[in-house]
């Protein structure tokens, strides 16, 4: 058995030792701001439900019976129930043991989590021993990696675990390829290239959603190659990351926002700020509130998952009671429920004050973390809405998830005094700006599909009606009893991207109004994407710059197949009279609108996973539409 994944163990280099070595030790305590009187009233925080950010999948933690002992029946209810004295977790992470004889240990807690409405996902630390080889990695002479000839067998191993859990009443939401492939002293190492290969060639056979890479510190060099490889990305459903020692400045991920349309972004493991302090130490536990705020607002994660649920430093103490760290987590997990959407709000309206806002089920939830040593006064204004009532809960040095009265609300505005060194959650019942609106929009019409490609589909439907007005629509993918957000639109049409070629998808639509009321779900439509590229390639096309009568363009060819592309020829057509006058990185011939490009000496071969970039200057007429189809060596490439 692998050593415990826990700083209290000494059988492998502790997280603290590793972080110290790389200069990224997490803070050990929350810094104490200078004492001051109650701050003067700051500018109002405008909360706008019409400006929607990411859909929240949930909050949760890890249960690992082999390493930390299973949760008891009562502790399962404390973790996943949402009553008084419960955490309201909606995500459970479990372990995929390399020995299938141990799989049954995961069932009981997973079944209870499912019964409470939570989703369950799983992460492996090692493949079965027969699939592993040892190699030398730096000073580690017994490093482990998955044998290349075992990739298909490993995919079947993950699929077998998925089916085992399904047979026991637990339909896994997703499964990871590998826990922390870049921190694997006692488990299995993977390079980013190996993950790309597995995703491209083997992950498509797994019957649930796929998570990767679960990097130890959200190291982007582990995930960038996944996003930049069309074949790998097609089989990736959730980009997972851990945040051990990751500075807040590294939380945003522009490349994911560019390339990850249709994918989910999860934080799948962390403890914070350390594993040495008691989880009840205050105000150190308040640091969890800022960390969660940053994960939701700066990183725009859709899920936040703690390490061990029950631990001295975790959300639940060893006696089964909620800790202060757990209470801070519960200010999010109990009130920001699965399917809620983060909405626009000033995130840092005062020094050491952090605000995030969410909407769902005719409510707006506002979570405020005040790290100051004095109370602050803060006004909140709900744009285009009027609120019927505000409820609030607070956790500070002397109170834990304690309900408060008020504050009073008028014309969509309220002002609250936020206690010193506290986290406060406000739950606002909202209505329209013309009075309380509790009427949901009418059901949207049956969606119809058009523009179906190997990776996308455009859906349209008959618009909904509402007593005040529909402000938007949410498109969901439907699989059995599970819904997955697929897109949103202000009009009765949306394009869903990031789909897998030759795959059937079922979609439905909800309408919503300004009050946050949501319609009944539309009827479903099932769409099968086209078979996709036959050339094992992807081509990206863009206009780099333009001027009167001309433009500069760029083509990037990616080899997404399983063999090198040698002495390639790329063919495409311009449809508006564009004419290439100069090219670098390739040699063109053009007849009418038809263009063929062959390589130059230095890029005659495109290796597996590699790419070449071609630039050109061309003349144009009054319009400049992009080519729609690219053919490489006779095979159609994916448009990137």
**Token code pair at residue 285:** 């536990």
Determine the distance from the C-alpha atom of residue 399 to the mean position of all C-alpha atoms in its chain, rounded to a whole number.
32
Q: How many CA atoms lie less than 13 Å away from 250 in the CB half-sphere?
A: 13
- With the C-alpha atoms ordered 572, 574, 579, 580, is the resulting torsion angle positive or negative? negative
Q: Clarify whether 180 is annotated catalytic.
A: yes
CA dist 443 to 260, 317, 483, 517, Å?
30, 46, 17, 12
Spatial distance between the Cα atoms of 5 and 250, rounded to a whole number of angstroms:
24
Query: At a CB cut-off of 8 Å and minimum separation 6, what does 273 contact?
Result: 26, 27, 28, 29, 30, 284, 287, 288, 291
Helix, strand or coil, per DSSP, at residue 19: helix
What is the greatest pairwise CA distance in the chain? 79
Residues 6+ apart with CB under 8 A from 595: 571, 572, 573, 574, 580, 588, 589
Q: At what angle do helices 151-167 and 192-201 cross, to 10 degrees?
A: 70
What gap in Å lies between CA 540 and CA 639, rounded to an integer? 6
Catalytic residue of the set 98, 214, 269, 640: 269
Catalytic residue, candidates 180, 214, 290, 640:
180
310 - beta bridge partners? 316
Q: If you search the block for the tokens 């973390």, which residue do you land on? A: 369
- According to DSSP, residue 332 is labeled H
Could you report how far apart the first and last alpha carbons of the chain are, in Å? Answer: 43
Q: Which residues pair with 582 in a beta bridge?
A: 617
What is the side-by-side strand order in the sheet with 341-344? 402-404, 385-395, 422-432, 363-370, 353-360, 341-344, 45-55, 376-382, 413-418
Helices (H), 351-413: none
Q: Determine contact, residues 640/540, Cβ cutoff 8 Å.
A: yes
Please give the Cα distance from 260 to 586 (Å, whole number): 29
- Half-sphere exposure of 185 toward its Cβ, with a 13 Å CA cutoff? 14
Query: CA distances (Å), 568 to each of 89, 142, 599, 605, 616, in order?
Result: 53, 42, 7, 7, 18
Q: Is 300 designated active site?
A: no
Burial string for 138-176 (b: 16+ CB within 10 Å, else e) reads eeeeebbbbeeebbeebbebbeebbebbeeeebbbbbbb
Structure token pair of residue 503: 């795959």
CA triple 241-244-249, angle to 5 deg:
80
Rounded to the nearest 5 degrees, what angle is found at the Cα of 427, between the Cα atoms of 424 and 430? 150
Q: Is 433 left (phi over 0), alpha (psi -120 to 50) or beta?
A: alpha
| Residues acting as catalytic residues | 180, 269
């Amino acid at each position: 058995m692998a050593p415990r994944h826990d700083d209290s163990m000494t059988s492998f280099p502790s997280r603290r030792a590793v972080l110290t070595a790389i200069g990224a030790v997490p803070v050990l305590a929350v810094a104490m701001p200078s004492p001051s009187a109650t701050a003067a009233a700051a500018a109002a925080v405008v909360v706008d439900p019409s400006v929607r950010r990411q859909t929240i999948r949930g909050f949760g933690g890890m249960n690992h019976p082999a390493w930390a002992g299973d949760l008891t029946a009562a502790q399962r209810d404390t973790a996943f129930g949402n009553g008084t004295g419960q955490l309201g977790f909606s995500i459970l992470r479990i372990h995929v043991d390399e020995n299938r004889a141990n799989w049954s240990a995961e069932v009981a807690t997973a079944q209870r989590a499912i019964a409470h409405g939570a989703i369950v996902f799983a992460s492996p630390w090692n493949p079965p021993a027969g699939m592993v080889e040892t190699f030398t990695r730096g000073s580690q002479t017994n490093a482990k990696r998955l044998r290349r000839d075992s990739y298909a067998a490993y995919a079947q191993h993950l699929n077998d675990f998925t089916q085992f859990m399904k047979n026991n009443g637990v339909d896994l939401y997703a499964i990871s390829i590998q826990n922390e492939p870049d921190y694997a002293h006692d488990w299995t190492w993977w390079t980013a290239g190996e993950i790309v290969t597995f995703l491209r060639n083997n992950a498509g056979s797994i019957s649930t959603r796929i998570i990767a890479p679960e990097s130890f510190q959200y190291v982007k060099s582990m995930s960038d190659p996944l996003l930049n490889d069309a074949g790998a990305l097609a089989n990736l459903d959730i980009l997972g990351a851990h945040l051990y020692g990751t500075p807040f400045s590294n939380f945003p991920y522009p490349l994911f926002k560019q390339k990850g349309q249709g994918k989910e972004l999860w934080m799948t493991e962390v403890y914070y700020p350390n594993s040495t302090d008691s989880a009840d130490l205050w105000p150190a536990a308040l640091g969890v509130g800022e960390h969660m705020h940053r994960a939701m607002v700066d990183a725009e994660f859709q899920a936040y998952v703690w390490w061990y649920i029950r631990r001295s430093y975790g959300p639940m103490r060893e006696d089964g009671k909620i800790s202060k760290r757990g209470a801070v987590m519960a200010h999010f997990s109990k009130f920001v429920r699965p399917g809620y959407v983060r909405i626009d709000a000033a995130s840092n309206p005062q020094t050491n004050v952090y605000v995030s806002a969410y909407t769902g089920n005719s409510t707006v939830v506002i979570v405020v973390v005040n790290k100051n040593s004095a109370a602050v006064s803060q006004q909140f204004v709900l744009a285009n809405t009027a609120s019927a009532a505000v409820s609030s809960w607070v956790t500070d040095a002397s109170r834990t998830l304690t309900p408060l009265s008020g504050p009073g609300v008028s014309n969509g505005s309220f002002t609250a005094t936020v206690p010193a060194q506290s986290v406060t959650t406000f739950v606002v019942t909202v209505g329209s700006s013309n009075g309380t609106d509790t009427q949901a929009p009418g059901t949207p019409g049956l969606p119809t599909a058009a523009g179906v490609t190997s990776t996308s589909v455009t859906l349209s439907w008959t618009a909904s009606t509402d007593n005040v007005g529909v402000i938007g629509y949410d498109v969901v993918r439907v699989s059995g009893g599970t819904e997955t957000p697929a897109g949103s639109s202000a009009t009765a049409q949306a394009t869903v991207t990031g789909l897998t070629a030759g795959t059937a998808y079922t979609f439905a639509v909800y309408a919503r109004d300004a009050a946050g009321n949501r319609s009944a779900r539309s009827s479903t439509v099932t769409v099968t994407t086209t078979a996709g590229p036959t050339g094992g390639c992807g081509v990206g096309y863009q206009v780099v710059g333009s001027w009167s009568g001309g433009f500069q363009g760029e083509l990037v060819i990616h080899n997404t197949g399983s063999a090198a592309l040698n002495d390639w020829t790329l063919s495409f057509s311009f449809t508006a009279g564009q004419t290439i006058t100069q090219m670098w990185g390739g040699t063109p011939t053009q007849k009418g609108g038809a263009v063929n490009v062959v390589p130059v000496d230095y890029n005659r071969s495109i290796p597996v996973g590699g790419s070449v970039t071609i630039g050109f200057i061309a003349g144009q007429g009054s319009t400049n539409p992009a080519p729609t189809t690219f053919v490489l060596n006779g095979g159609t490439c994916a448009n990137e």
